[in-house]
């Protein structure tokens, strides 16, 4: 998601454009004085599929002459890889300095490169790339049409009388019927199933969710039975349930920890003898939350609420990484229907923006869900059916080199623009704080529950 170095920092993200290309947006902070600024290092390592790079200088107080030369070198490096560089600078004085900077003329750069385009914001950079892509596509269409016309002129047959267009094949006139859209709204009489059907759907969802969790809990029960010589699985479940309730840890979370954590050295030894207790981290975005006694549901609710406030929407969801499978699993959601929640209950490595955000450890903005190839078709249809046309997926990660704890995604009724510098920073700060708390919770509260479980199992009679 970002890098740090000296007094400067940088956070990178992917802004996906409607035609499918990606814009690698690097959010810089701190003065740019040379090529060692983290933003310049991040800029020359764009994610796969990004055809242009924009460095957001909205939070940069100054760019020195040496910094301008470093930006020029960055432009050359990207141009050699056939990628364009754009500079987003809302400050007029900085914009003038960059526009008059010591950048090489277009002819000095390899094919596909040129002088960096200076724009006001990342959103304007995205619009610039979209306009260029549209112009290139229009030019290609014109060239193809011209070639087809020339070929037709060379081999034109004798003129034939035009036949009257009659019957069901006519495509013009007041009786013409448009082809149905792939995402057409269902007729009103099909939109609301009867109450009994709704009840059955809810029951089926509940059974499916239970079936997904049951193998994990059964595996944990088996470990307890064998380790502590328990008489049956009911005794094992009673131990799990008691420790879960005592420490306010979800049963699934405790079962996952039991399955993935190496067991104690012996039947009667302390499970984690060298463990140091940590102070719970502060969550600035949720000042009323007592972090020492809060559970994951409370913290993730605060994460989702704050994320939706930052970007101004009432739809979103939070997912955590499953330590057993590596999949993303929905933990909290708001404004999304049950069909959406069931479809995206577990997300693998491909086919969604949240999966890409987790894989790249960088936020992914999808400006238009309807046209973006990042989604496979079933996922696209499920998102559109829920009323979402754009989304921002932000990984919950403490440091850029860490593995994400999860992903928070906000959904929007209309196609979205790239985030502003202030919005991006607010989301990233919240994500880092929540990731730090989740790590603390896993290494403190969950391990306390495991210790309690171990004691209860070793003294069970």
pLDDT digits (tens, 9 = 90+) for 366-390: 999 999 998 989 999 999 999 999 9
Torsion of CA 352, 357, 360, 361, to 10 degrees: -160
Q: At residue 23, does pLDDT exceed 60?
A: yes
pLDDT of 331 above 70: yes
Question: Can you tell me the distance from the alpha carbon of 304 to that of 328, in angstroms, rounded to the nearest whole number?
Answer: 16
Say what the pLDDT of residue 166 is.
43
Q: What is the value of pTM for the model shown?
A: 0.81
CA terminus-to-terminus distance, the chain? 51
The alpha helices in 34-121, defined as continuous H runs, are 38-43, 65-80, 92-99
Instruction: Give the residue, 188 or 254, on which the prediction is more confident.
Output: 254
329 pLDDT above the threshold of 80: yes
Residue 99: which pLDDT band, with cuts at 50, 70 and 90? confident
β-pairing, 2-5 with 363-366? unpaired
Comparison of pLDDT for 108 and 39, the residue scoring more:
39
Question: Could you tell me the pLDDT band of residue 100, with boundaries at 50, 70 and 90?
Answer: confident
From residue 353, alpha-carbon distances to 20, 305, 369, 414, 452 in Å are 12, 20, 10, 16, 39
Which pLDDT value is given to residue 172? 40
Residue with tokens 């078709």: 377
Distance, in Å, from the CA atom of 106 to the CA atom of 401, rounded to the nearest integer, reads 36
What is the pLDDT confidence band of residue 268, given thresholds at 50, 70 and 90? confident
- 394 phi, psi to nearest 5 deg: -115, 125
Lowest mean pLDDT among 104-113, 246-255, 321-330, 449-458: 104-113
The whole-number average pLDDT for the span 242-267 is 93
- The fraction of the chain above a pLDDT of 70, given in percent, is 77
Range of weakest confidence among 64-68, 364-368, 449-453: 64-68
- Give the model's confidence band at 3: pLDDT under 50 very low, under 70 low, under 90 confident, else very high: low
Residue 137 has what pLDDT?
Answer: 52
Q: Tokens standing for 317?
A: 């969801």
Please state the rounded mean pLDDT for residues 41-65.
Answer: 93
The whole-angstrom separation of Cα 13 and Cα 24 is 6
Q: What is the mean pLDDT of residues 62-67?
A: 91
* pLDDT score of 450 more than 70: yes
In the chain, helix, strand, coil percent, each to 5?
45, 15, 40
134-170 residue pLDDT tens: 665 555 555 555 555 555 455 545 444 444 444 444 4
Q: Flag whether pLDDT at 461 surpasses 70.
A: no
Average pLDDT over residues 452-457: 94
pLDDT tops 50 at residue 107:
no
The reported pLDDT for the residue numbered 96 is: 81
Mean pLDDT of the chain: 83
């Amino acid at each position: 998601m970002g890098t740090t170095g000296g007094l400067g920092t940088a956070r990178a993200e992917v802004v996906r454009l409607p035609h499918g290309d990606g814009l690698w947006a690097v959010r810089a902070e701190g003065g740019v004085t040379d090529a060692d600024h983290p933003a310049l290092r991040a800029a020359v390592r764009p994610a796969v599929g990004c055809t242009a790079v924009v460095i957001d200088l909205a939070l940069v107080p100054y760019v020195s002459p040496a910094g301008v030369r470093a930006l020029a070198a960055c432009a050359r490096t990207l141009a050699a890889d056939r990628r364009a560089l754009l500079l987003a600078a809302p400050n007029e004085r900085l914009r003038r300095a960059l526009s008059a900077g010591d950048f090489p003329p277009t002819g000095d750069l390899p094919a596909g490169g040129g002088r960096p385009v200076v724009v006001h914001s990342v959103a304007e950079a995205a619009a610039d790339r979209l306009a260029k892509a549209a112009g290139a596509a229009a030019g290609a269409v014109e060239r193809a049409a011209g070639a087809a016309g020339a070929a037709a002129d060379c081999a034109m047959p004798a003129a034939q009388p035009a036949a009257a267009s009659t019957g069901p094949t006519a495509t013009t006139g007041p009786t013409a019927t448009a082809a149905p859209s792939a995402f057409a709204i269902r007729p009103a009489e099909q939109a609301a199933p009867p109450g009994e059907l709704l009840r059955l759907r809810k029951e089926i969802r509940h059974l499916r969710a239970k079936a997904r969790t049951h193998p994990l809990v059964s595996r944990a029960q088996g470990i307890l039975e064998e380790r502590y010589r328990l008489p049956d699985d009911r005794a094992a479940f009673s131990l799990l349930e008691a420790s879960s309730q005592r420490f306010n840890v979800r049963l699934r979370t405790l079962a996952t920890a039991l399955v993935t954590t190496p067991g104690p050295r012996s039947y009667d030894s302390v499970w984690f003898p060298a463990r140091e207790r940590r102070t719970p981290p502060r969550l600035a975005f949720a000042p009323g939350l007592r972090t020492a006694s809060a559970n994951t549901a409370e913290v993730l609710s605060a994460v989702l609420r704050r994320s939706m406030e930052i970007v101004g929407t009432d739809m979103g969801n939070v997912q955590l990484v499953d330590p057993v499978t590596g999949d993303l699993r929905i933990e909290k959601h708001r404004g999304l229907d049950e069909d959406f929640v069931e479809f995206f209950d577990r997300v693998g490595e491909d086919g969604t923006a949240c999966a890409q955000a987790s894989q790249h450890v960088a936020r992914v903005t999808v400006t238009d869900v309807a046209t973006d190839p990042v989604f496979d078709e079933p996922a696209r249809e499920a998102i559109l059916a829920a009323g979402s046309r754009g989304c921002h997926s932000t990984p919950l990660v403490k440091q850029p080199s860490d593995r994400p704890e999860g992903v928070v995604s906000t959904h929007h009724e209309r196609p979205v623009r790239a985030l502003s510098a202030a919005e991006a920073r607010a989301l990233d700060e919240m994500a880092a704080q929540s990731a730090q708390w989740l790590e603390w919770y896993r290494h403190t509260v969950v391990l306390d529950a495991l210790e309690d479980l171990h004691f209860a199992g070793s003294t069970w009679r």
